[in-house]
């Protein structure tokens, strides 16, 4: 079943042949690791995914979560898996060793978790605990670290992220949850939070809720928000668990997908006794919570990649096995033998579109992650600033583009299955249902596009964006020296030029007071930028793969440019087939998908503001 979760060969290609993940070990921060260790970890992740995580996918969807006497009970199949997951340390891979973690590069954590995140219902529980623990590790006092981290690091205690309220979803600054200061320096919390993923469960003995609230008397808006730690069970001085804190789980949302994930409404302090303690400084709640939100956005992007990967691989296998219709070459011949549907042109088009997108999404997610690792391992401030800046620019792309394309891949996989894909007899419909939420939570994809256009492009006067363009141009310059992909490099160069031009166009609109042009077109721009970055990633891969392909073919006495010979060799050699697939996927995407940006550019530069000018009444 391993090859139906993700492509192990492609994962290793991106990590080691493309990104050179082993070079991270040259930095003192990661000197104790090696490529062999990375590969061993990923091999264990694959084994755990196949034996423990994948078997819970369908069952947890059917069983769902139940609220009984104020306690959420998750699918029983998660109990063993969660225990083994935490015992193996999958929940704290990148934490510093001094806090009980393994100190691994975040890239290896993301790569390992790609094996697990096809079942986001399960992964959300340890993942949120990890994120909440990281907040405490970054902003907590020494006492808070001693109090919370040991049990959170082992998974004995879990965590959440409590932002959203019934009247303040994306508009977090409008929250109404109050924090009442007590004489001993602690606080009482009163308010309601909703859409809280993993808001309660029976996997952990205690759950620590980071809760955004406004201290009474503090100013309105986001500048007046603080963040508090609210444990499910109060903690005694000796570390044992005390009384149940004063909040209740009012309901579990009935959702379209991720049924094994308990999405809760939580009422804090109905009896005026919900105890909490401040995390970090007063009125810095949003700054602190953004660390967890950005981590969650990367995890959500990973969800998009994982949904796309597993859906594509299932559709590919189905297309190779499903027999229906005659070959196009025998069209109209009723006596012609029936063929596997992978022989039909439209099915092949769908499969190649999916493959190209999955390959590019994996490269994008891993590249963004290694940028963060390079920043953390940097030997000077300038290098740190460069790589962290690129990571900042890419974060909204990772979250929004990856989740939207991930959903489209699940949709296209369903199309390959035909009517069976629409039925629960096959798993595609669950993949599709589970993935849809990814474009909504952790900041809708529309919000991500506004963050990209309104903040990320202009960070440090555009320096971070220019650093990214510099990396893109370096890839293109190298590929132009490779005759096998020179034409693709020229096309990608045109895309990079168009991206640069569009950013300047937006800047000119802002200077001219026409700010509604970039605001109204932020989402189309994000998707356009995502396609150009995907083309960059695929060109990078094709440049490497075409050179490897030429060498392998030469060893066989063949020319990689001879398509007939290449087709025959691909049937005999998995490596030749793999590298050929890389080149073909890049060529397909760059020649067929990348040109879609031309329509986006034309639409944006028309400066049409129909979305602003149409009245509410005219929508009817």
Provide the annotated active-site residues: 442
Q: Count of CB atoms within 10 A of residue 468's CB?
A: 24
Q: Residue 225: phi, psi to the nearest 5?
A: -95, 135
**Whole-angstrom distance, CA of residue 213 vs CA of residue 313:** 44
DSSP string, 29-72: GGTT--HHHHHHHHHHHHHHIIIIITTHHHHHHHH--EEETTEE
Helix (H, G, I), strand (E, B), or coil: what is residue 261?
A: coil
- For residue 88, give every residue at least 6 positions away whose Cβ sits within 8 Å of its Cβ, in sequence order, or none: 44, 48
**What are the structure tokens assigned to 356, written together?**
């190209």
Ranges assigned E (strand) in 80-185: 157-159, 178-181
Ranges assigned E (strand) in 337-453: 338-340
- For residue 37, give every residue at least 6 positions away whose Cβ sits within 8 Å of its Cβ, in sequence order, or none: none
**What are the structure tokens assigned to 481, written together?**
């020296």
**Whole-angstrom distance, CA of residue 273 vs CA of residue 9:** 54
**Whole-angstrom distance, CA of residue 540 vs CA of residue 534:** 10
Dihedral Cα 347, 353, 356, 359, nearest 10 deg: -80
Rg of the chain taking only CA atoms, in angstroms:
25
- Between the CA of residue 20 and those of 26, 93, 375, 534, what are the distances in Å? 11, 20, 15, 19
DSSP tag of 215:
E
Give buried/exposed letters for 184-197 (b at 16+ CB in 10 A, else e). Answer: eeebbbbbbbbbbb
Helix (H, G, I), strand (E, B), or coil: what is residue 233?
A: strand
**Whole-angstrom distance, CA of residue 501 vs CA of residue 515:** 17
Helix axes 56-63, 120-139, angle to 10 degrees: 90
DSSP tag of 593:
I
Helix (H, G, I), strand (E, B), or coil: what is residue 610?
A: helix
């Amino acid at each position: 079943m391993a090859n139906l979760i993700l492509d192990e060969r492609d994962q290793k290609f991106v990590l080691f042949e493309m990104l050179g993940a082993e070079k991270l070990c040259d930095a003192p921060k990661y000197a104790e690791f090696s490529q062999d260790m990375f590969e061993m970890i990923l091999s264990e992740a694959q084994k755990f995914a196949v034996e423990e995580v994948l078997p819970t996918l369908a069952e947890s969807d059917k069983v769902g979560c139940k609220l009984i006497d104020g306690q959420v009970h998750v699918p029983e199949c998660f109990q063993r898996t969660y225990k083994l997951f935490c015992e193996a340390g999958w929940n704290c891979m990148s934490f510093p060793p001094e806090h009980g973690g393994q100190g691994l590069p975040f890239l290896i954590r993301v790569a390992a978790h790609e094996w697990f995140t096809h079942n986001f219902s399960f992964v959300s529980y340890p993942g949120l605990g990890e994120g909440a623990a990281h907040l405490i590790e970054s902003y907590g006092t020494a006492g808070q670290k001693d109090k919370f981290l040991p049990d959170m690091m082992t998974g004995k205690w879990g965590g959440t992220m409590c932002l959203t309220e019934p009247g303040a979803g994306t508009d977090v600054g409008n929250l109404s949850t109050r924090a009442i200061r007590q004489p001993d320096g602690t606080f009482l919390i009163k308010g309601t939070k909703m859409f809280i993923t993993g808001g309660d469960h029976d996997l952990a003995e205690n759950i620590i809720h980071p809760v955004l609230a406004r201290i009474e008397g503090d100013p309105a808006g986001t500048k007046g928000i603080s963040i508090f730690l609210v444990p499910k069970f109060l903690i005694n001085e000796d570390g044992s668990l005390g009384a149940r804190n004063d909040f209740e789980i009012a309901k579990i949302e009935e959702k379209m997908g991720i049924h094994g994930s308990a999405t809760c409404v939580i009422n804090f302090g109905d009896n005026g006794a919900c105890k909490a303690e401040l995390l970090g400084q007063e009125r810095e709640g949003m700054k602190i919570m953004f660390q967890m939100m950005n981590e969650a956005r990367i995890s959500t992007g990973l969800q998009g990649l994982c949904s796309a990967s597993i859906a594509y691989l299932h559709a590919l296998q189905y297309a190779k096995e499903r027999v229906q219709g005659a070959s196009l070459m025998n069209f109209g011949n009723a006596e012609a033998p029936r063929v596997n549907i992978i022989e039909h042109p439209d099915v092949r088009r769908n499969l190649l579109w999916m493959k190209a997108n999955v390959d590019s999404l994996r490269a994008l997610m891993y590249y963004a992650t290694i940028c963060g690792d390079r920043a953390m391992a940097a030997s000077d401030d300038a290098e740190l600033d460069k790589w962290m800046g690129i990571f900042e620019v890419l974060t909204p792309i990772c979250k929004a583009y990856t989740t939207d394309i991930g959903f489209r891949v699940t949709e296209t996989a369903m199309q390959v299955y035909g009517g069976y894909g629409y039925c629960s007899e096959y798993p595609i419909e669950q993949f599709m249902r589970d993935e849809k939420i990814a474009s909504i939570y952790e900041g809708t994809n529309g919000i991500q596009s506004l963050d990209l256009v309104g903040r990320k492009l202009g960070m440090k006067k555009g320096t971070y964006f220019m650093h990214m363009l510099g990396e893109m141009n370096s890839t293109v310059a190298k590929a132009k020296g490779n005759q096998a992909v020179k034409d693709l490099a020229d096309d990608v160069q045109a895309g990079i030029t168009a991206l640069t031009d569009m950013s300047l166009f937006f800047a000119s609109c802002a200077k001219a007071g026409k700010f509604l042009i970039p605001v109204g077109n932020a989402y189309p721009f994000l998707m356009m930028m995502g396609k150009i970055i995907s083309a960059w990633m695929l060109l990078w891969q094709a440049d490497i793969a075409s050179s490897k392909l030429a060498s392998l073919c030469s060893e066989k006495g063949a020319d990689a440019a001879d398509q007939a010979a290449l087709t025959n060799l691909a049937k005999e050699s998995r490596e030749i087939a793999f590298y050929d697939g890389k080149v073909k996927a890049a060529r397909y995407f760059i020649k067929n998908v990348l040109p879609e940006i031309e329509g986006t550019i034309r639409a944006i530069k028309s400066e049409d503001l129909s979305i602003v000018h149409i009245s509410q009444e005219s929508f009817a």
